[in-house]
Structure 1
Amino acid sequence: MMPQGTDDDFWGPPGPVTTEVIDRERNLYRVQFPMPGSYHCPSTGLHFVVTRAVTIEIGFCAWSQHLDKTPLQYMYVVAGPLFDIKAERVAVAAVYLPHFVDLQEGQVDISSFRVAHFQEQGMVLETPARVEQHYAVLENPSFSLVGVVMRMIPGFVRFVPITSITLIYYHFSPRDVTFHLYLVPNDCTIRKAIDDEEIKFRFVRINKPPPVDSLYIGSRYIVSGSRKLTIIPKELELCYRSPGESQLFSEIYVGHMGSGINLQIRDKKSKKLVWETLLKPGDLRLAQLMMPAVHKDIPASLHFVDQHREQLVARVTSVDPLLDKLHGLVLREEEYEAVRAEATTQDKMRKLFSLGRSWNRACKDQVYRALKETHPHLIMDLFEKSGGISEG
């Protein structure tokens, strides 16, 4: 059987390799590749080819803090996320840096692509070894603050086709349902910044497919629904805003959810349908389970794993897969072995919770996610019994 993993893991020869959190507030992460090979992270789009076991640190950064300070800011435009990568240079044969320019249109001159390095002396531009559909590739790379840019003729930015994503978030209350809808370039640092902002206000993301066709920076799009909805504003501009800036979105007030809602985005000029999705009551329930925070009616000091400790001890049926997911993230080696040494499933869970006295909220979030992946039906049942959203 293939090992379980998530889109935030790096996938390579051994299967999924977990990305560790160094500092969530500063967006710093670490991944330890155990053997040579090619490793790809679906969430960030980063791809490393390594020649031996190596540890790599990755930070998510904002272009506005760096590109705006260079004299080349009007000659080059952002074409992908900005990362702060630290690794032993000799251990990395190649790095694939993601970009969001759509090359399938045949309108883009790939010779205009550069990789920007931000160093002490300023911004240094490097010509990539090659440019692929979703990546600019550096071979035998040096590391710093790095990201993909394009040399651009002023006034022609709006003619560059890009891949984009739609992000939908909802907030539930007993009286009404509110959605936030974003249309942004396919940049993982923007997506993460929006996720972090929305979760502060207890909005939960609903995963839906992105637009299929390429769109254009500076173009305007109209948001509409299949029934009477309050949408403010109804018009969205697709633009690049650095992760540190406020992003544009439409707020959609539904009232009673009832049946499903069909949402559409059309090009303002051509009226062409560029994106469509169906939001169902079941989407709300599933998305709420992805929320690593407590339920809206539960005091903020009481986390899900604390609230349901007794039930989790009694009803978790398989502890070892749970421990495997927590090993290295929440549990040290000696803690991992101490829990496994207990005789019964209940004793193992009691031992696990006894170690949890020192857990902060981030650790409890990791436990919640691991429980949700290993015991999804149990977590769904506990969630609904505590007042979670059910269909209808």
Structure 2
Amino acid sequence: MNMEPLETEEDFKNPTGPVVTEVADKERNLYRVYFPAAGYYHHPNIGLQFVVKRALTIEIEFCAWGKFWDRDVLEHGWMVAGPLFDIKAEQGAVAAVYLPHFVDLQELGFQHMKCLEDTIIQATTPRSLTSSLTGGHVDNSLFEVAHFKKKRMALEKPARVEQHYIVLENPSFSLMGVLLRMIPAAKCFIPITSTTLLYRPHHAKEVTIHLYLIPNDCTIRKAIDDEEEKFQFVRIHKPPPLDSLYLGSRYTVSGSEKLEITPKELELCYRSPGESQLFSEIYIGQVESDICLQLNQKISGSQVWEALLKPGDLRSAPRLDAPTPADTPALLHFVDDHREQLVARVTSVDPVLDKLHGAVLSEEEYETVRAEATNQDKMRKLFSLSRAWDKTGKDQLYRALKETHPHLIMDLWEEWSRDSRSWGS
């Protein structure tokens, strides 16, 4: 199966360093990681953590609750509280898995204790939520891990509930995710950790920003990233809200300049990754000065988030669909100009070859390049063949690299842009 680097910013890590995560099937959002030894591994961006007993390979697929929650989840009084993953691993090889959730347990415990505890005592059993919270964990009866097998849901009680994770020990894997018991009287009192996502166009003379407010769920983030990428928008990285927010609450969007904002309110709600996500479109136009964006709680007016956008944050990137810049000599193609970096940094050559096979590579050339021992040797061999190609052939190589290694190509464009500005100065 073709492999390429995972495009979710970071790899799994353990005390000895990063562990490369690979894309097994991009359309299915299926990833594969090989843990080389027993130990603890975590992914800062996804939130998953594993404690493994020996070396093994794990497959992780990002999934959408929307196929299941209407029938099995909401009907039975549960609230989605974290991402849904389909995890496959050798039985007995994993000592513990830490599944991320986005419920703010500290806020849940200390600001809404009375409301929740009274309701829990009436609805379930009279257990002390207070004592379990102050001990660093919460009442496990509030959380369950849902397993979906043959479209039927089974619930499993976690071994522990921690501030950001639900812990299963010696787990069996399936399509699985975290649920929180939904108490009707406390529906509007469930604090969650949330995040804001900002996107700008790759290239545009006049700038329009897309602003999202979502639960801190990596599967939703990735679905939005993928959707925005289709329209040539790139994410602007800014800090998320510091404090917990509440599902169902509404927030007004405003800015320091006279901006056109549609709509001017955002509701914080959970929408499955397969659904359209709510966002505000903010038209800025020509960027001449710093812009401050804010979110304020609609009822109280209190500010919950702020971001400062500088002209550099909004500067148009070079067009990725135009391999040769206008002021670059006609004989110097992008792939030739960046030959050294591409040889060193392309981490998976076979998917590139698959896209070129039959177009600019013959069957013999395709097999010759694949026969090389390392990715660097494959790229060198590919470049030796590309000397005979015209601009159309090199454009096809560029497009293949852009599709399989988009972040690398963007990095090279940004380096070229910085170098061009420094030469001009």
What SS does structure 2 have at the residue aligned with 1:73?
Answer: helix
Q: For residue 184 of structure 1, what is the aligned residue in structure 2?
A: 214
Is the 2:254–2:295 contact (alpha carbons within 8 Å) kept by the matching residues of 1? yes
- Count how many residue pairs are aligned between Structure 1 and Structure 2: 359
Is the 1:166–1:183 contact (alpha carbons within 8 Å) kept by the matching residues of 2? yes
1:335 partner amino acid: E
Among 153, 166, 176, the alignment partner of 1:123 is 153
Q: For residue 303 of structure 2, what is the aligned residue in structure 1?
A: 273
Q: What's the CA shift for 1:222?
A: 0.6
Q: 1:35 to 1:83 in 2, by over 3 A?
A: same
1:214 partner amino acid: S
Q: 1:352 to 1:188 in 2, by over 3 A?
A: farther
What SS does structure 2 have at the residue aligned with 1:181?
Answer: strand
What SS does structure 2 have at the residue aligned with 1:198?
Answer: helix
2:320 partner amino acid: H
CA distance in 2, matches of 1:352, 1:205: 36
Mapping of 1:98-137 within 5 angstroms? Answer: 98-105=100-107, 106=109, 107=112, 110=138, 111=140, 112-120=142-150, 122-137=152-167
Matched, 1:284 2:324: no
What SS does structure 2 have at the residue aligned with 1:335?
Answer: coil
Is the 2:401–2:409 contact (alpha carbons within 8 Å) kept by the matching residues of 1? no
Matched, 1:67 2:69: yes
Q: For residue 38 of structure 2, what is the aligned residue in structure 1?
A: 36
Q: 1:250 to 1:121 in 2, by over 3 A?
A: closer
Q: What's the CA shift for 1:8?
A: 2.9
CA distance in 2, matches of 1:204, 1:171: 6
Among 346, 350, 372, the alignment partner of 1:335 is 372
Among 315, 323, 335, the alignment partner of 1:309 is 335
1:79 partner amino acid: A
Please give the per-residue CA displacement for 1:88-111, whole angstroms capped at 9, x wherever unaligned: 121111100000000121247533
Mapping of 1:215-234 within 5 angstroms? Answer: 215-234=245-264
What SS does structure 1 have at the residue aligned with 2:241?
Answer: coil
1:134 partner amino acid: H
Is the 1:319–1:349 contact (alpha carbons within 8 Å) kept by the matching residues of 2? no
CA distance in 2, matches of 1:353, 1:99: 49
What SS does structure 2 have at the residue aligned with 1:60?
Answer: strand
Matched, 1:27 2:29: yes
Q: For residue 350 of structure 1, what is the aligned residue in structure 2?
A: 383
Matched, 1:81 2:115: no
1:181 partner amino acid: L
What SS does structure 1 have at the residue aligned with 2:75?
Answer: coil
Segment of structure 1 superposing worse, 273-282 or 5-14: 5-14
Q: What's the CA shift for 1:319?
A: 4.8
Is the 1:339–1:351 contact (alpha carbons within 8 Å) kept by the matching residues of 2? no
Among 53, 57, 60, the alignment partner of 1:58 is 60
Which protein shows a greater Rg? 2
Is the 2:203–2:317 contact (alpha carbons within 8 Å) kept by the matching residues of 1? no
In terms of fraction of residues, the more helix-rich structure is: 2
Q: 1:167 to 1:339 in 2, by over 3 A?
A: closer
CA distance in 1, matches of 2:36, 2:351: 16
2:91 partner amino acid: R
Q: For residue 200 of structure 1, what is the aligned residue in structure 2?
A: 230
CA distance in 1, matches of 2:333, 2:321: 13
RMSD of aligned alpha carbons: 3.3
What SS does structure 2 have at the residue aligned with 1:350?
Answer: helix
Please give the per-residue CA displacement for 1:127-156, whole angstroms capped at 9, x wherever unaligned: 100011110000000111100001111252
Is the 1:166–1:182 contact (alpha carbons within 8 Å) kept by the matching residues of 2? yes
Q: For residue 302 of structure 1, what is the aligned residue in structure 2?
A: none
Segment of structure 1 superposing worse, 18-27 or 94-103: 18-27
Q: What's the CA shift for 1:177?
A: 0.6
For normalisation by structure 2, the TM-score amounts to 0.75
Q: What's the CA shift for 1:171?
A: 2.1
Q: For residue 357 of structure 2, what is the aligned residue in structure 1?
A: none
CA distance in 2, matches of 1:71, 1:10: 30
Structure 2: which 5+ residue stretches go unaligned?
Answer: 1-6, 114-128, 130-137, 325-331, 354-368, 388-392
Q: What's the CA shift for 1:24?
A: 1.0
CA distance in 2, matches of 1:14, 1:33: 12
Segment of structure 1 superposing worse, 31-40 or 332-341: 332-341
Among 405, 411, 416, the alignment partner of 1:382 is 416
Is the 2:372–2:378 contact (alpha carbons within 8 Å) kept by the matching residues of 1? no
Please give the per-residue CA displacement for 1:153-173, whole angstroms capped at 9, x wherever unaligned: 125222010000000011266
Is the 1:204–1:288 contact (alpha carbons within 8 Å) kept by the matching residues of 2? no
CA distance in 2, matches of 1:74, 1:174: 48
Please give the per-residue CA displacement for 1:74-130, whole angstroms capped at 9, x wherever unaligned: 410000000011111211111000000001212475330111101127111111000
Is the 2:73–2:79 contact (alpha carbons within 8 Å) kept by the matching residues of 1? no
Q: For residue 320 of structure 2, what is the aligned residue in structure 1?
A: 295
Q: For residue 249 of structure 1, what is the aligned residue in structure 2?
A: 279
Q: 1:222 to 1:43 in 2, by over 3 A?
A: same
Is the 1:79–1:101 contact (alpha carbons within 8 Å) kept by the matching residues of 2? yes
CA distance in 2, matches of 1:204, 1:341: 30
Please give the per-residue CA displacement for 1:167-210, whole angstroms capped at 9, x wherever unaligned: 00112665411001000000011111111111111111101100
CA distance in 2, matches of 1:12, 1:212: 27
Please give the per-residue CA displacement for 1:39-61, whole angstroms capped at 9, x wherever unaligned: 11111101111111111111111
Q: Percent identity?
A: 57
What SS does structure 2 have at the residue aligned with 1:295?
Answer: coil
Is the 2:48–2:98 contact (alpha carbons within 8 Å) kept by the matching residues of 1? yes
CA distance in 2, matches of 1:379, 1:177: 20
Segment of structure 1 superposing worse, 274-283 or 7-16: 7-16
CA distance in 2, matches of 1:188, 1:282: 27
Q: For residue 179 of structure 2, what is the aligned residue in structure 1?
A: 149
Q: What's the CA shift for 1:329?
A: 7.8
Structure 1: which 5+ residue stretches go unaligned?
Answer: 300-305
